[in-house]
């Protein structure tokens, strides 16, 4: 430290009183995002040599080999700024999906895209309609812009209630988020259902169709947002390389939409928002059909493994088309902690889903360890319930 540099005044530690009045008031209402616990974090706390992370819907097979190779090649150019417009990636997307390049805009993950959409379209008091429970970042984007968030509950079976969503749209609505398969429930809607919804909707809000998990869908008539975009509907598709493409750590996603809409999103984009390594890896991953096929097959097998395993344990679960499953374990937080003690990280604590944990589908042996942990958890719960009954009966 330079001699002339002064020690921080004690007041630096107690700025809260001075800072708070300067902060935009609506930010106080935002609850911080709680991510899946990082592996290293859990290793430190429990001293495990290895930890199974089934918490963030990542691809257990890892990144596409072609993406790895492309990423490595770009590292030697790491001293250069990336192409801010992501032209190579957008050209690759254009080739892959048969839409002109001006229909695509890349982002530092879908999370950033949701923030960019919010900055592009939302003024204070504007309304955002989202299903609930669904992806919390939609709410975050609205809250940061001080827009008004309208949460429309899912039906009891966690499917979308399109009538209620429609009823929530009014002249102040700017964005309507729909996610299929829906995170964290795994439920989905069909393309026909989405078309019917769009047909009934007055053409003034932008419908954001989040297709983060769309590659995993086996059910008939999956959502195909690009068809709506080709047909000139007011639709933006959100896509990510974090899930089936296995590039969550690189942070890369994109939106697809009419050039009129995409142009304005570019307006709020930081000059170098998506990094060079991510752009190159994503462009390569897009054409690694073998990796996508293997990932989809592994996920399908894992879904069946969890289906059979949970059924055998008598744990109800929501039928899923994603790479995760929502299981009704009774006490989500207790199950989360019990699994954590066995070195398995899952997710609990979703608003309105206290009885559930969300489990990302992993490799067969990882799923097995998770199911064994759940079996033990259910046994101990049964035991404590019986003990409680005995104590009650005895008094």
Ligand X SMILES: *Cc1c(COP(=O)(O)O)cnc(C)c1O
Residues of this chain that bind ligand X (CB under 6 A)? 57, 109-111, 135, 179, 183, 210, 212, 240, 242-243, 248, 253
First to last CA, the chain: 68
Is residue 330 a contact partner of residue 381, using CB atoms and an 8 Å limit? yes
The CB-of-257 to ligand X minimum distance in angstroms stands at: 16
Cα gap 109→274, rounded to integer Å = 8
The CB-of-44 to ligand X minimum distance in angstroms stands at: 24
Nearest Cα neighbor of 247 from 106, 54, 58, 69 is 58
Of the two residues 162 and 241, which places its CB atom closer to ligand X in the complex? 241
The CB-of-47 to ligand X minimum distance in angstroms stands at: 30
Of the two residues 63 and 109, which places its CB atom closer to ligand X in the complex? 109
Using the Cα atoms of residue 297, residue 300, residue 304 and residue 306 in order, give the sign of their dihedral.
positive
Whether the link from the prior residue into 301 is cis, omega within 30° of 0, is: no
Cα gap 344→335, rounded to integer Å = 10
The CB-of-347 to ligand X minimum distance in angstroms stands at: 11
Tell me which H or E stretch contains 109.
helix 109-121
The CB-of-23 to ligand X minimum distance in angstroms stands at: 25
Of the two residues 111 and 288, which places its CB atom closer to ligand X in the complex? 111
Of the two residues 168 and 248, which places its CB atom closer to ligand X in the complex? 248
Of the two residues 126 and 211, which places its CB atom closer to ligand X in the complex? 211
The residue number whose beta carbon is nearest to ligand X equals 109
Cα gap 216→180, rounded to integer Å = 10
The CB-of-385 to ligand X minimum distance in angstroms stands at: 34
Cα gap 304→361, rounded to integer Å = 10
Beta bridge pairs of residue 106:
254
The CB-of-329 to ligand X minimum distance in angstroms stands at: 21
Cα gap 51→344, rounded to integer Å = 6
Of the two residues 183 and 187, which places its CB atom closer to ligand X in the complex? 183
Is residue 347 a contact partner of residue 184, using CB atoms and an 8 Å limit? yes
Structure tokens at 19: 């800072």
Of the two residues 212 and 310, which places its CB atom closer to ligand X in the complex? 212
The CB-of-63 to ligand X minimum distance in angstroms stands at: 13
Of the two residues 176 and 338, which places its CB atom closer to ligand X in the complex? 176
Strand ranges across the sheet with 253-256: 104-107, 253-256, 235-240, 206-210, 173-179, 127-132, 148-153
The CB-of-138 to ligand X minimum distance in angstroms stands at: 8
Of the two residues 179 and 310, which places its CB atom closer to ligand X in the complex? 179
307-318 as b/e, with b when 16 or more CB fall inside 10 Å? Answer: eebbeebebebb
CA 328 to mean position of chain CA atoms: 20
Of the two residues 212 and 284, which places its CB atom closer to ligand X in the complex? 212
Nearest Cα neighbor of 88 from 246, 279, 238 is 279
Structure tokens at 379: 């046994």
The CB-of-248 to ligand X minimum distance in angstroms stands at: 5
């Amino acid at each position: 430290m330079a001699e002339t540099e002064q020690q921080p005044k004690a007041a630096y530690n107690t700025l809260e009183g001075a800072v708070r009045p300067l902060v935009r008031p609506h930010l106080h209402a935002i609850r911080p995002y709680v991510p899946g616990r990082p592996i290293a974090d859990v290793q430190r706390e429990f001293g495990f040599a290895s930890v199974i992370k089934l918490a963030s819907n990542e691809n257990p097979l890892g990144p596409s080999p072609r993406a790895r190779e492309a990423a490595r090649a770009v590292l030697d150019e790491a001293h250069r700024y990336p192409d801010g417009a992501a032209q190579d990636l957008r050209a690759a997307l254009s080739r892959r999906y048969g839409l002109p390049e001006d229909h695509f805009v890349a982002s530092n993950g879908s999370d950033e895209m949701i923030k960019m959409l919010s900055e592009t379209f939302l003024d204070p008091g504007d309304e955002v309609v989202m299903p609930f429970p669904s992806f919390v970042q939609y709410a975050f984007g609205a809250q940061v812009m001080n827009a008004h968030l309208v949460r429309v509950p899912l039906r009891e079976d966690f499917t979308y209630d399109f009538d209620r969503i429609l009823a929530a749209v009014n002249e102040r609505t700017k964005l309507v988020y729909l996610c299929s398969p829906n995170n964290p429930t795994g439920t989905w809607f069909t393309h026909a259902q989405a078309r019917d919804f769009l047909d009934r909707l007055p053409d003034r809000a932008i419908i954001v169709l989040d297709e983060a998990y769309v590659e995993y869908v086996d059910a008939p008539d999956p959502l195909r947002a690009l068809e709506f975009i080709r047909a000139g509907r007011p639709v933006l598709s959100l896509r990510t390389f974090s899930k089936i493409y296995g590039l969550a750590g690189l942070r890369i996603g994109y939106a697809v939409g009419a050039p009129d809409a995409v142009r304005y999103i570019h307006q709020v984009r930081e000059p170098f928002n998506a990094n060079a390594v991510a752009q190159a890896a994503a462009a390569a991953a897009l054409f690694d059909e073998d990796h996508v096929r293997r990932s989809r097959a592994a996920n399908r097998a894992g879904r069946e493994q969890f289906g059979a395993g949970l059924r055998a344990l008598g744990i109800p679960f929501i039928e899923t088309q994603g790479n995760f499953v929502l299981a009704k374990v009774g006490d989500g937080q207790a199950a989360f902690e019990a699994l954590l003690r066995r070195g398995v990280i899952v997710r609990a604590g979703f608003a309105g889903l206290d009885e559930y944990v969300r489990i990302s589908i992993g490799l067969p042996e990882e799923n097995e360890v998770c199911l064994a942990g759940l079996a033990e958890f259910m046994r101990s719960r049964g035991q404590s319930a019986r003990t409680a009954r005995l104590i009650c009966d005895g008094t």
